[in-house]
Amino acid sequence: MPVASPQRVYADANATTPLLPEVFEAMRPFWMDSFGNASSIHLDGQRARKAIEQARETLADFFHSHPAEVVFNSGGTEGDNTALAGLLRPGDHFVTTAIEHSAILETARRLAQRGVEVTYVPPLPSGLIDPAAIERVLRPTTRLVSVMLANNETGVLQPIEEIGQIVRAAGAFFHIDAVQGAGKVPFDVRRFGCHLLSISAHKMHGPKGVGALFVRRGTPLESLIVGGTHERRRRAGTENVPGVVGLAKAVELASRALEDGTLERIAALRDRLEAGLLRIPGVGLNGADEAHQPVPRVANTTNLWFDDLEGEALVIALDLRGLAVSGGSACHSGATEPSHVLMAMGLDKNRARASLRFSLLRTATDADVDHILRVVPEAVERLRALAPLNAGTLG
């Protein structure tokens, strides 16, 4: 058994990220001092209201939208649920992709039980969604198309603008799950051509349990959560003031990082990491084209398969060596299922099970990459040597 390394590196940013200190400081006054309810008319309420409306301006700048088109909510899952359930009715046709997050796929499954017709467009083997494949499945009854900006497992960036043009020409509504793309690529909801777009603070060094949904003016979206008149009746419930303030600060810092070279620095670290890991025998890249070159993707992510290994065993071995990463599999009621994303891309079950996602924080350093490149080859070699197949104990 390896001794746990005193150094720990967290390379699972696509699962969640820590607050940046500036975010924590921005939120601090709103827990105990400026704690008012933004709906109250007294001074305490007004302070909270002012903070919310300032945050709304920041989000509108980020989206390139009008402030009235920003709806604060509890995060990506709620945004995705609202976009679908708020627009689709029995008899409508809904188009999405086979590689969406479960926040989309499970909502689609429930809506299908209630009479919505759903088409799932598969990706190309590279993980890209072909806009022509979307165009082919559109019908006169297609009310909504939902495609993610960046895939959470592979980081692959979808040709959103092209898809937006096709959807608009067909007269349907367009939703983008931008949870993994936010803060990693420049944003412009007009250029994307979308009516709805969801983001989540905790994927961009903001707090958990808060996010925002862009709702283009005139979109006939029914709210999912009803009660008071908050958020122009689009989302009832007392506003999470510290959360919203934290989201706005996270967005402000992410916008800065898009312009000050931070993303290029992270991409260079990811490329060095990837090149180092690809030197291990029996390792390959998920999200590559026919020439084995990566397709467009976010700066911080690489997803690799490791032949002759069980991904889960490798995740545990790496955890013991001070490295947090995710496997290309999800645990459903105790059974390890290979990733639906990698399976849809055409990987066989073994490769999908033997895949790992490395996703770097915005604060990642060269020392982090050095640590990863030290522990992964050693863990892979150890596990392969232990594997019954290689030890000759199985036929």
List active site positions: 331
User: Does 340 interact with ligand PLP (rule: CB under 6 A)?
Assistant: no
Binds ligand PLP (CB under 6 A): choice among 152, 158, 240, 359: 152
Q: In terms of CB distance, is 148 or 263 closer to ligand PLP? A: 148
H and E: helices and strands count for the chain: 16, 15
User: Does 179 interact with ligand PLP (rule: CB under 6 A)?
Assistant: yes
- Shortest CA distance to 154 belongs to which of 202, 80, 100? 100
The one-character DSSP state at 150 is: B
Residue ranges of E strands in 19-81: 70-73
Tokens of 372: 């990863």
Strands 323-324 and 326-327: unpaired
Binding region for ligand PLP (CB under 6 A) out of 109-117, 131-139, 176-184, 320-328: 176-184
Q: In terms of CB distance, is 202 or 270 closer to ligand PLP? A: 202
Q: In terms of CB distance, is 34 or 126 closer to ligand PLP? A: 126
**Do 73 and 50 meet the contact criterion of CB atoms below 8 Å apart?**
no
User: Using CB atoms, what's the residue nearest to ligand PLP?
Assistant: 76
Considering only residues 21 to 80 of the shown chain, the ones binding ligand PLP according to CB under 6 A are 75-77, 80
Q: In terms of CB distance, is 342 or 376 closer to ligand PLP? A: 342
Angle (CA) 39 45 47, round 5°:
125
**Do 207 and 243 meet the contact criterion of CB atoms below 8 Å apart?**
yes
User: Does 206 interact with ligand PLP (rule: CB under 6 A)?
Assistant: no
The one-character DSSP state at 155 is: -
Considering only residues 77 to 116 of the shown chain, the ones binding ligand PLP according to CB under 6 A are 77, 80, 101, 103
Tokens of 34: 């400026």
Q: In terms of CB distance, is 80 or 368 closer to ligand PLP? A: 80
CB of 357 to ligand PLP, least distance (A): 11
Q: Which amino acid is at 182?
A: A
Binds ligand PLP (CB under 6 A): choice among 34, 65, 107, 200: 200
Tokens of 253: 């810092």
Q: Compute the CA torsion angle 120, 95, 132, 155 (nearest 10 deg).
A: -70
User: Does 301 interact with ligand PLP (rule: CB under 6 A)?
Assistant: no
CA pair distance 298, 82, nearest whole angstrom = 26
User: Does 231 interact with ligand PLP (rule: CB under 6 A)?
Assistant: no
CB of 68 to ligand PLP, least distance (A): 23
Contact residues for ligand PLP, defined by CB under 6 A: 75-77, 80, 101, 103, 148, 152, 177, 179-180, 200, 211
